Amino acid sequence: MKNNGQIDNIDAKILHLLQGNASLSVAEISEQVGLSSSPCWRRIKRMEELGLIDQRVTLLDRQLLGLDFEVFVAVKLSLPNRDNMEKFEREVARMPEVVQCAVVTGAVDFMLRIVTTDMHAYETFLRETLLSIDLISDVQSRIVLRQAKDTTALPLNLISPAIPRY
């Protein structure tokens, strides 16, 4: 187990359950992991204090909200030095359509995941927002036709044998 001794198998089970449904009560979690409520609550609090549980969020249905147009965008900067990369990251952080931004290796500098309403909204975002950043030399868009897998859950089975592989 490669987790610096911060979590044991019971902790991993708790994290697994919370990844699947963060609204589970401590009583429901404790029943499923075989602990009483107080020790289970203490474990959750400890993992929050350690930063293992970063935040609890509500996942929204993009399709029902009309935000089901998704694009992966590869961005190459004209001069990818530290200052330009930091400036680009600050600009992108202010764009609500950008739901993920990763610095990557290879032929491009950044991969963005864009969520918007439709092709026209994406074109407007691309022309008026993204390409207004004067640091960009190339943009390549990949429109998502369908998500074959979309999860926020981390593969906890890699750090704990108590978590089944799905």
pLDDT at 5: 62
User: Between these two residues, 115 and 161, which has the higher pLDDT value?
Assistant: 115
Q: Which amino acid is located at 12 in the chain?
A: A
Q: How far is the C-alpha of 4 from the C-alpha of 16, rounded, in Å?
A: 18
Q: How far is the C-alpha of 139 from the C-alpha of 125, rounded, in Å?
A: 13
| Alpha helical stretches, state H, 34-77 | 37-50
pTM: 0.86
pLDDT at 154: 92
Interior angle at CA 112, CA 118 and CA 123, nearest 5: 30
Residue 86's pLDDT band (boundaries 50, 70, 90)? very high
